[in-house]
Amino acid sequence: MNALRRTAAPLLLGLVVLTGPVACSTGPAPDPGPAPRRPASASAPAPSRGPAADPTDTGWLQLMIPMDEGAAALLDLAARKTTDPALRSFAARLRTAHEDELTALRGLRQRMGLPDTDVHQGHEMPGMVTATDLERARAAEGEAFDRLLVTEIRDHLRQSAQVSRSEATAGRAAEAKERATALAAAHEDRLSELEGLPGVHG
């Protein structure tokens, strides 16, 4: 993993928001003139929607889903490649937890009306297990795989917890903030568990 991806990301969520798709203009909008009148019968209450898609909430959600998906793909490899029984057990439990987490995050994404596209595809960001990382993991064997797994999952848990704490502080949608708070706590607990495994050194 290169030095950039090892760097802590206290402002990562803000960066995602700032670099995400935004509307822009180069000057004052033209006067559209008076609004057209509608017959009274045309008026109807707007359909109920899920949580509003605030840019901070959107940025966190669109980052966390691919982060968890990449980690889950790596954890799938651990089931048959790791040589350490304790690490294999940890990876299996974390894989199950991530599947539940992804189900909740995807449901929230749908309720917020966000597309299911991966806006970070091909990006190398702190805590993201990339396609290149997965290629290296498939090629690694024995203790080399175990070391790669520990390094990548440690970084994933640390960075995802940090980004989720930022969302819990700066987000606006109550459901997203609650989910981020729970995710941060769960990933911090899993990180502590990982660091406590025999043979794993921080």
Per residue in 122-157, pLDDT (tens digit) is 556 889 999 999 999 999 999 999 999 999 999 999
Q: Assign a CATH topology to domain 55-112+127-196.
A: Ferritin (1.20.1260)
Give the pLDDT mean for 92-96. Answer: 97
Tell me the percentage of the chain whose pLDDT exceeds 70: 69
Buried/exposed code over 145-176 (b: 16+ C-beta within 10 A; e: otherwise): bbebbbebbbbbbbbbbbbbbbbbebbebebb
Kindly tell me the burial class for residue 140, based on how many C-beta atoms sit within 10 Å of its own C-beta (0-12, 13-18, 19 or more): middle
Mean pLDDT value across residues 149-178: 96
pLDDT band of residue 201 (cuts 50, 70, 90) is low
Quick check: 59 and 120 in contact, CB under 8 A? no
Domain boundaries, the chain: 55-112+127-196
pLDDT exceeding 90 applies to what percent of the chain? Answer: 63
Cα gap 193→89, rounded to integer Å:
11
